[in-house]
Structure 1
Amino acid sequence: MPVQRPAAATPDVVCFDPQDTKGTSAPAVAATPAVDKVGVLLLNLGGPERLSDVKPFLYNLFADPDIIRLPQTVKFLQPLLATIISTLRAPKSAEGYKAIGGGSPLRKITDEQAEALAAALRAKGQAADVYVGMRYWHPYTEEALEDIKRDGVTRLVILPLYPQFSISTSGSSLRLLESLFRSDAALKSLRHTVIPSWYQRRGYVCAMVDLMVQELAKFRDRENVEIFFSAHGVPKSYVEEAGDPYKEEMEECVRLIMEELRARGHANSYTLAYQSRVGPAEWLKPYTDESIRQLGARGVKSMLAVPISFVSEHIETLEEIDMEYRELAEESGIRNWGRVPALNTNDAFIGDLADAVLEALPYVGCLAGPTDSLVPMGDLEMLLQAYDRERRTLPSPVEFWEWGWTKSAETWNGRIAMIAIIVILLLEGVSGQSILKNLIWAE
């Protein structure tokens, strides 16, 4: 039985001249230039390759205003906060990376995905160079764009390696790209299109189900196995106040996967939960750790974990799911545990990405909508303008200040105190005098 996808309307295509950002309606796409060189830019998060990379990687992460959003009046504190948070979190994060071999495998896997995608495109008759641009570590997006300019790419398909769109993942990478395109004359004239999300593609859905069926076969009581989808979380306010489509796309993605799984004869029950929350703000629920405890309390004995928002193995699959959540499951009474591997360079998955690129090429330089995605495919600036019109300003996960005994006040009192202590310790290190001791024992 085929996967039931939402009915896609015929795309309304608006094409544009790179020098004319308003765009003009057109019944067909713009003509391909005489000298045509196709490029594909894969976007991903990045990860520290050595333990010594952990702290600077975390600094880059927390210095991103789409990760920690401060009010305009105190944005100058972002580098300081990023320094403090990365310094405090680095030791624990380093322990996690040490547990999976001393660094993230994400760059290696993403490079392999790029090579496999280029080969799949060649096999389908389309020559293309595939580039990797990481948001927070090497090779940075800026490095990838320099390679794209050097190679003379004339048509570029931008493909975030996140199946579902979110402000904090794809959105952050696309906003960085938009800024870089605006500030570089060579990039301003580069014809391009973005595939913002692709969770609903049949090839992706079937590749996921193929792996799930393989893992289910390893259980003796496969019909009683709880399918446990664990997705990366985002702050609840991003969805409810800013219109982030992530939750809706995630739920639709899980629905499509379960429809295909059931069509293959597996009627297992399932749970969708969210992992990797940070800070005091409320994130999307249910949380992964709480859901595992609840399932154990209900008597679930067999569980198959499915990392649904990740297409590459990295710390959140190898350490957080495989170690932390597996241990929690066993403590909660779950005796039989399995985990679906990330897609990595799965042939069906890579082949479907190649098809997605080929389908996007006719829309280079255009905004295509409506489609079966909640975020339209198209040029960076036009895409983000269209998306921004549909949502309000992204709120900060923590309100900057409220007087009284409130969560906000407690949070910021703690942060101010932490900053003060760090400043004092730095001064002590420079001066060689015990300033903190003098303050405590001053008469």
Structure 2
Amino acid sequence: MELDNVMLARMLTSLTLGFHIIFAAMGVGIPVLISVAEWLGIRKKDPMYTLMAKRWVKGFTVTVAVGVVTGTCIGLQLSLLWPSFMKIAGEAIALPLFLETFAFFFEAIFLGMYLYTWDRFKNPYIHWLFSIPVVIGSTASAFFIMTVNAFMNAPQGFSLVNGAIVDIQPLVAMFNPATPSKTGHMILSSYATSAYVLAALAAYKLLKGNAHEYYRKALSFTMVMALLFSFGTALWGDIAGKYLAEYQPAKLAAAEWHFETKPQAELVLGGVLDKDTLEVKYSLKLPYALSILADGSPNSVVKGLDQIPKEYWPPLFIHYLFDGMVVIGMYMLIVPIFFFAWRKRKKGQTPRMLLRAIIWGAPLSFLAIELGWVFSEVGRQPWILVGYMKTQHAATTADNVGEMLVLFSLLYAFLAVVSTAVLRRMFKDKPVQAELQ
């Protein structure tokens, strides 16, 4: 594969998004768990839940700092690497870009108040109230930035006349058909992933023999949240599937290796594709499932790739990305169900195998988000702005993109090492027993 400017720009943008989304997901989800934990601590008069909030918010500040740096890199790269795209998007979708910055400032202001006002009020609910704007700001930030990505998949709210953008309607561009599925799915998956990250920390301590009640309560609490948010993510996946069937049938058909337009379409899991005959072998086929996903009825006609010009077919390997998301999503649902089933049947210590499964849930949930981003972006190809601009026409013609790729790779490696070291140092030799005294 020739590494021309277009491919190098795509690689650098993918690297930045892939690294940023790790910290962005935690930046969106962890405030929710912090807020709920503190509320439970006040309501139950249980200092352990309050301590969860205190410890988690310390780590959260590190993820925010790295998220700000990598988010800034994304903004810089959009302008430098994709100038033609930003010429259109910068005008049509400028409103949510501005609102995303405002939401972050809103979150940062109240995060500072939240951090430095512990035990300053006779009524503890006053301090807890400072967490609400942090939750709103972080979630709103994700919502606004996801509307930009949604706009790339379902552009509207403007007209393109002789290469010039006219008749701009910012709210129409922002609330495009892709907005509900994109924003809801990303926000809920961030909540679920954050719950798994915090659950994995508690499970790791229990696995290492630290059976303090704090970790048992933290594990139960985070598993409840993981179950709720994983279930919500799965439900929102159904909304996303119906959006794809109506507005981006090529992406859905490529994801499911659905080559023939027909009713009662089956959903294909796994398998090997013969690229010459387009025959799928060794797959698991679920009868009617694709028709139900696409339109809610087993008899619904699902558009296949046979009705789409081959030059507009997305890369067919996105099938495996879709399968990966589905399998991991099922895992994220099953693990909490087993956890609570065991707790109900046999009260006592959680089996080591189940603790390991919870720990594995954290990296797998991040993997699902990464697969989802690649599926969304690659599945939109050859378009950067569907129906208006192809990716190859949007990339910069400037030199030295390869050198930028190397430099940013080194930056992200540095940030990964430093942030990990800081987080480890932050909690090393600081047992919860000492903090509870």
**Scaled by the length of structure 1, what TM-score is found?**
0.28
**Scaled by the length of structure 2, what TM-score is found?**
0.28
Query: Relative to total residues, which structure has the larger strand share, 1 or 2?
Result: 1
Query: Relative to total residues, which structure has the larger helix share, 1 or 2?
Result: 2
